Amino acid sequence: MKNKFYLGSHVGMNSKNNYLIGTAKEAIENGANTLMFFTGAPQNTIRTATEKLNIEEFKKILIENDIDITKTLCHGPYTINLANTVKPEIFELGVRLLKEELNRLEEIGVHLVVLHPGAAVGAERKIALDSVIKGLNMVYKDLPNTPVKIALETMSGKGTEVCINFDEIKYVLDNVERKDMIGVCFDTCHMHDAGYDVKNNFDGVVEEFNNLIGLDKLLAIHLNDSKNFINAHKDRHENIGYGYIGFKALSNIVHNPLFKNIPIVLETPYIDGKISPYKLEIEMLKNNKFVNNFDLDIKTE
């Protein structure tokens, strides 16, 4: 039976759980039919050799559990900042790490990576955006045959982040050389915090995106509630139904036929920093009914 939607969460990858074997098993345990992972610690450059990651077993487990690897994705390291023109060495490191990431993902067989576009750190925004374009062009020039696409994530506007609105994203997409390889990842918390009305008018937000950029460029969705009011420019994720976006608006996104072929992944906080919320959140969203599983304060109805 064809899936009504692809819904999963961020899942771990580490030596203790046999790398990608544990990644796949965690997703299955959560009742997910898609998943997102880091290929290593997001805050550093250390990466385990791909031959140790149990790639073939990972693919086998996915097939056995009807998880389509073409609907899975990776999150790029936070250490990449292609927007940084103030420190050229940071930009160069970002280009190198991104190329390495695309090569690793090609070996793993996952062909989509979500990337934070970066921060201007003191430079003018247009200069920073031009730097993102330059970095993406360098990566695909060096890897002309890679099958791995990059989805630029919508950002909340904290600090000097770029790509905090559709105009900035459009500017990047219009000016990259490999337009076929670069798209967008919606993050509902970031969009809400950047000022888009995800709670009351997501249809209008999607229409604006479609008119400006095109829904064919939407490659993934990060589904997160927000701890802050709209337009707060913060970026603090909340568990589904407990934040200022609320359950109804977020569940409507999952069940919207427009997104039925787009992987939707949760990045919500662990309860008390220890207990994964994903199995219960996925079940709740599948059933389209809010259940107060975690006994947290509900900020909105």
Asked if residues 265 and 250 have their Cβ atoms less than 8 Å apart, the reply is no
Helix (H, G, I), strand (E, B) or coil at 101: helix
Q: Binding residue per annotation — 255?
A: no
Asked if residues 285 and 7 have their Cβ atoms less than 8 Å apart, the reply is yes
List CB contacts of 46: < 8 A, sequence separation 6 or more: 40
Q: Binding residue per annotation — 197?
A: no
Q: Binding residue per annotation — 190?
A: yes
Q: Binding residue per annotation — 75?
A: yes
C-alpha triplet 299, 187, 50: angle, nearest 5°:
125
CA distance linking residue 31 with residue 127, whole number of Å = 44
Q: Binding residue per annotation — 192?
A: no
Q: Binding residue per annotation — 301?
A: no
Asked if residues 297 and 196 have their Cβ atoms less than 8 Å apart, the reply is no
> What per-residue string of b and e applies to 161-183 under the rule 16 or more CB within 10 Å gives b?
bbbbbbebbbbbbeebebeebbb
Which run of H or E residues covers position 238?
A: strand 237-238
Q: Which residues share a beta bridge with 146? A: none
Residue 205 one-letter amino acid = V
Q: Which residues are annotated as a binding site?
A: 75, 116, 153, 187, 190, 222, 235, 237, 267
Q: Which residues are annotated as a binding site for Zn(2+)?
A: 75, 116, 153, 187, 190, 222, 235, 237, 267
